[in-house]
Amino acid sequence: MEIYYTIVLFVFGIVLGSFYNVVGYRLPKGESLLFPSSHCTKCNHKLGASELVPVFSYLFLRGKCKNCGEKISLFYPIFELSTGILFAISYIIFGFSIELAIALTFISTLLIIIISDYQTMIIPDEVLLSGSILLMIELWVQRGLQGTLEAILSGILAFVTMFLLKKIGDFLFKKESMGGGDIKLMFLFGLVLGYPLAIIAIFVASFIALPIAILFTVKYKDQKYIDDEEIPEHSIPFGPFLAIAAIFLLLTRIDFNFIVQLLTR
């Protein structure tokens, strides 16, 4: 039965992964999540049922639009597959429990943010707000009122810490060092991961992002700027790295308290 439920969560995950991709792409642009229906962005061909099966449609169509032959980004099936894997791993770790509900809500919110920030450089407030409300309800069921208030306090502390880091970064680099969405995201981290583990997520994210940032700097050394603003044409949003780091810390459940103890001695 454990294998059966793991497979069910995996399939559930890849289906939702396809939906999260739509939400993350359309919501920041103010587009409807339902209309128009899924279509090829080049020829506007409306996708049929056989073209909407997560992962498998990509393989069946050999990564091309059925109508015009335009290549479909490999990102879509990889994202869907990753969502399924994360859902399955969450079930293996937490089983059927309120912890599983919290993990799936947290992961789902962050996956939408990854798509949104990667595609549009925007972390929608609607996603952060709805995710926070759902998580607070689940935390109340798990921990009661006092535990939920403690989680909210951790979220506020993480938010304030990130805000101060932004101000320091703005002062040092003489420009905006991070977006407001990244700061708001830290409330979500504090809510689920607790404080100071939420702050450790920043350092884990920075460690993951560093080699990619170096590669981008070398590749696009002659940067052009969008509309003569201080936003590079080829820029890397930090939100996806924060989200990946938070998911990693949630699922590995690594105890970083020893680091905190060393720093406070």
Tell whether 251 and 146 lie within a shared domain: yes
Q: How many domains are there within the chain? A: 2
Tell whether 130 and 183 lie within a shared domain: yes
**In this predicted structure, what is the pLDDT of residue 82?**
95
In a domain, 250, yes or no: yes
Tell whether 145 and 56 lie within a shared domain: no
Confidence of residue 114 (pLDDT cuts 50, 70, 90): very high
> pLDDT tens for residues 2-37?
899 999 999 999 999 999 998 998 888 887 777 766
Q: Is the dihedral of CA 250, 102, 162, 17 positive or negative?
A: positive
Tell whether 137 and 239 lie within a shared domain: yes
In a domain, 209, yes or no: yes
Confidence of residue 263 (pLDDT cuts 50, 70, 90): very low
Tell whether 140 and 265 lie within a shared domain: yes
Owning domain of residue 216: 123-265
The mean predicted confidence, pLDDT, of the chain is 83
**In this predicted structure, what is the pLDDT of residue 111?**
96
> pLDDT tens for residues 144-156?
999 999 999 999 9
> pLDDT tens for residues 44-88?
667 766 667 788 887 887 777 766 767 877 888 899 999 999 999
Tell whether 39 and 145 lie within a shared domain: no
Report the helix count and the strand count for the chain, using DSSP H and E.
9, 0
**In this predicted structure, what is the pLDDT of residue 255?**
54
In a domain, 104, yes or no: no
**In this predicted structure, what is the pLDDT of residue 257?**
53
With a pLDDT cut of 90, the percent of the chain lying above it is: 48
Q: Decide which of 81, 96, 111 is a domain's last residue.
A: 96
Write out the two tokens for 66.
């059925």
Tell whether 128 and 254 lie within a shared domain: yes
DSSP code per residue over 143-191: HHHHHHHHHHHHHHHHHHHHHHHHHHHHHHHTS--S-HHHHHHHHHHHH
pLDDT at 222 over 80: no
**In this predicted structure, what is the pLDDT of residue 238?**
87
In a domain, 108, yes or no: no
Lowest-pLDDT range, 56-70, 136-150, 188-202? 56-70
